[in-house]
Amino acid sequence: MAVKNYKVYDFDQPDGIKFMKIDGKTGKVASRFSQKILNMPFKDGTEPKQVEGEVKVEDADETQFFRENY
C-alpha cells in the first residue's frame, strides 16, 4: 500500500464522470508513445480529444509534410 496511515474507502463513480489515460507530459490522450501515463477523471465533454503524437490537420504545415523524413 502506498500510504500506510490512511484507510482505503471505496466509492461509486459519479454519473457523468469518466476516466481516461492521459500523457503526463502533454495533457493529451495517452498513446503508445507516452512515457508517463496518468489515469485522470473528466466530466463528460471536458476530456482532451487530441492524442499525444498526432497533429491536427488544421495545425499541420503542408510545406513540412515530407521534410521530417528526408
Residue span of the structural domain in which 26 resides: 17-69
Residue 38 forms part of a structural domain:
yes
Residue 60 forms part of a structural domain:
yes
Residue 3 forms part of a structural domain:
no
pTM above 0.75, yes or no: no
Q: What is the full per-residue pLDDT of the chain (70 aa) written as tens digits?
A: 467 788 888 888 899 999 999 999 999 999 988 999 999 999 999 999 888 877 665 655 555 555 554 4
Residue 4 forms part of a structural domain:
no
Domain total of the chain: 1
Q: Contact, 51 vs 22, CB < 8 A?
A: no
For residue 68, give Cα distances in angstroms to 11, 32, 33, 53, 57: 48, 20, 18, 14, 16
